[in-house]
Amino acid sequence: LIGFAHFVLGNRLLWVGKLDEAEEELRTAIHIAEQIGYTTLLVRSLMFLPFIFRRRQQVEEVRSIITRAQTMPEARNIAVIKGHHAWIAWRDGDMAEAVSAGLASAGTQQREQRINAFRWTGLWPVIGVMLMQGKIDEAIDYARMMLTPSQQLLPEDLCMRLDAALRAWDEGQQEEACKLLQQAVPLAKELGYL
């Protein structure tokens, strides 16, 4: 219970932007989980800790945690961990792997989609690749997936830019939609989404 309390507090601190405090709480949760052999808590903590490092642009820290998580059978098929893997691939310039891991994370290739409020973890790298390849229609489709009600709400500035791009696309203004989506990329990078 104490370990889970640290995880919950770390998770809440993460989403309000208190990254140092969030890291401390999540690392404490990991330590407790390791001490008592609580795999569920360990996997959850390893799943959320990379968000902190993504926000800080710390690729090697994300890689280290994801590498560790992927050694655990309980974590190998977790969508968010696959999304972090897609982000690492994007940052490494491995576009094929970024798309593969990103789509696997988002569940776009599965018939039965599990509930995943964090589809953006894998979709942003896919959007980045689609924009680089000039596949604007696909980038728009993936952006649309991130704005559905079942998804974690993106930061307001980012959400507004995506929404404006989607509206322009729906109104037949493809060039404007592409421009607006491209304008969202630097902010997505700054916030650790891309």
User: What pLDDT, in 10s, does the model give residues 157-169?
Assistant: 999 999 999 999 9
Cα(148)–Cα(83) distance, integer angstroms: 18
pLDDT at position 150: 87
Number of DSSP helices (H) and strands (E) in the chain, helices first: 10, 0
pLDDT of the residue at 153: 87
Residue type, 34: E
What is the tens place of the pLDDT at every residue in 95-150?
999 999 999 998 765 544 556 889 999 999 999 999 999 999 999 999 999 998 88
The average confidence (pLDDT) of the chain is 92
Residue 21: is its pLDDT beyond 80? yes
Q: For 1-17, what is the mean pLDDT? A: 95
- pLDDT(181) > 70: yes
> Are the C-beta atoms of residues 106 and 122 closer than 8 Å to each other?
yes
**pLDDT value at position 64?**
96
Least confident of 68-72, 79-83, 114-118, 171-175: 114-118
pLDDT for 13 equals: 97
CA angle 105, 109, 111 (to 5 degrees): 115
Distance of CA 188 to CAs 21, 27, 60, 156, Å?
23, 26, 19, 12
For residues 110 and 148, the answer to whether their CB atoms sit within 8 Å is no
Tokens in use for 105?
């994370």
CA angle at residue 111 from 109 to 114, to 5 degrees? 90
DSSP H or E stretch at residue 9: helix 2-15
